[in-house]
Chains A and B, each alone.
Chain A
Amino acid sequence: MTVRVRVIPCLDVANGRVVKGVNFVDLADAGDPVEQARLYDSMGADELCFLDITASHEDRGTILDIVRRTAEVCFMPVTVGGGVRSAEDARALLLAGADKVAVNSAAVARPEVVADIADRFGSQCVVASVDARRVAEGRWEIFTHGGRRATGIDALEHATRLAQLGAGELLVTSMDGDGTKQGYDLALTRAIADAVSVPVIASGGVGTLDHLVEGVVQGHASAVLAASIFHFGQHTIAEAHQALSKAGIAVRHPISLQTL
């Protein structure tokens, strides 16, 4: 076979608690991040993503502690994003036990931060976020501040540049779709996935298992990220794998077949 398509639950963390923002505004508490991470590990999630949505204006120590405690009990790859501004921020997260760091708004202001981190710790640990909104047919622009602030930067150009600077992976989020459950922006995902040689994670807008399948088949994504469909018990990781598998996509075997 070939490398499997990854199913990645994403936990938004604020003040040390898991939350899920609907369009990044209304927050509903959904539990303790370490416990949730353990649950996803036991369910056979292919990776986990923590997004520290309060990182820009709150204590960094909280997320470092969560990452450290998660790494003690979870044996799957963990990506941590939110508030990563420098190679030093990345270093602290990696030492705490993160496998990859996601760089968001800092890479909009200064794309070279991606190269700084890749040069020191390797491309494999740098996930560059591409948060975009559709501004015209076939044209997307980079937005910051939870999708509220336009930058005038073309999303496709930005994505290509981040990959050239050494990002090992791109996390492509449609800010139009995020929290709407209407599905990924497939044209955006595909335009970027086809333009870069690194893997693309589709993100933003998943409401059904079909959306995950579409992200791979039509969006050409190597991995699919979702939050609420998993957090609120709508679907399990196994169901996500099953849906992808039924569509002919290579996924991991069910966890019950694996033994310790």
Chain B
Amino acid sequence: MSIALIDYGAGNLHSVHNALVKAGARDVVLAADGEVVRRADRIVLPGVGAFRACRDGLYALPGVVEAMGEAVQARGVPFLGICVGMQLLADEGEEFGSHDGLGWVPGTVRLIEPADASIKVPHMGWNDVTPATPHPLIVPGEAYFLHSYHFAAKDPAHVLATTDHGGPIVAAVGRDTIVGVQFHPEKSQSYGLSFLSRFLEWRP
């Protein structure tokens, strides 16, 4: 089984690579062009930092966005977006101006603005993953979060899990063979590694 790990210069690329291998992946290929994505049985989109910088990096890779769309829509390839890789699934992100996302999971990526001033932003640290919609990849537990923007989903049916940080925050979204997680499985010790194993074994 070949796993395409999209390589557009995301800071957590190697950590995700290490964690996938630890979780049991044998064939992780760094993908910087459409051809590699077309041959993949699984696709993982990492991402840290700003929405726009990640978006621009991703769209600069020749044929990758098209190949990802084709793989997911025509072949039903399981797809995992992590942190900003998850946020890129939205229609748009509002970090440093409004920018289009992939639009695969309807929603907008907005700044976390807690009403209570003692709630710190970035949302940084271990917090609950509370399942919202039953899904084979999502189990309750504690995972590591590190973000200032959050995914506001248009359709509640696409929210697979939430967490709480001065109010509910989306922890995972998904539809069909697509899953995006706001937390960092590659930094969530045993919870994260078992999540990645489930993704590797997932037969949607």
Contacts and interface: CB of A to CB of B under 8 A. Distances in A.
B15 A99 contact: yes
A44 B189 CA distance: 8
A197 B31 CA distance: 38
Contacts of A44: 189
B49 A198 contact: no
B87 to A, nearest CB: 12
Given A72-B18, A75-B192, A6 B11 contact: no
Interface string A177-202: 00000000000000000000111000
A120 B117 CA distance: 27
Contacts of B148: 123-124, 168
Contacts of A75: 15, 18-19, 22, 186-189, 192-193
Given A75-B22, A75-B188, A99-B146, A3 B11 contact: no
A219 interface: no
B174 to A, nearest CB: 23
Most buried by B among A46, A75, A124: A75
Contacts of B142: 4, 252-253, 258
B100 to A, nearest CB: 19
Residue of A44, A121, A124 most packed against chain B (CB within 10 A): A124
B122 A259 contact: no
Interface in A217-239: 220, 222-223
A82 interface: no
A1 B141 CA distance: 12
B147 interface: yes
Interface string A36-73: 00000100101000000000000000000000000110
Interface residues of chain A: helix, strand, loop or mixed (majority): loop
B194 interface: yes
B105 to A, nearest CB: 22
Looking at chain A, what size class is its interface with the partner chain? 35 or more
Contacts, number: 117
A222 B49 contact: no
A58 to B, nearest CB: 24
B62 interface: no
B48 A6 contact: no
A95 interface: yes
A123 B122 CA distance: 8
Nearest to B121: A197
A199 B118 CA distance: 10
Interface string A105-132: 0000000000000001111110000000
Interface size of B as a range: 35 or more
A258 B141 contact: yes
A209 interface: no
A3 B127 contact: yes
B125 interface: yes
Contacts of B147: 124
A94 B10 CA distance: 10
Interface in B1-40: 11-12, 14-15, 18-19, 22
Contacts of A4: 125-127, 142
B165 interface: yes
Given A121-B48, A124-B48, A3 B126 contact: yes
Given A258-B189, A258-B190, A259-B190, A124 B127 contact: no
8 contacts: A1-B128, A3-B126, A4-B125, A77-B184, A96-B14, A122-B53, A169-B122, A258-B189
Given A3-B126, A122-B48, A124-B148, 19 more contacts: A2-B127, A2-B164, A3-B120, A3-B125, A75-B189, A77-B146, A97-B15, A99-B12, A99-B187, A122-B50, A124-B122, A168-B124, A199-B120, A199-B122, A199-B124, A220-B118, A255-B189, A258-B191, A260-B190
Interface of B: 11-12, 14-15, 18-19, 22, 48-50, 53, 117-118, 120-128, 141-142, 144-148, 164-165, 184, 186-194, 197
Interface of A: 1-6, 41, 44, 46, 71-72, 75-77, 94-97, 99, 120-125, 168-169, 197-199, 220, 222-223, 252-253, 255, 258-260
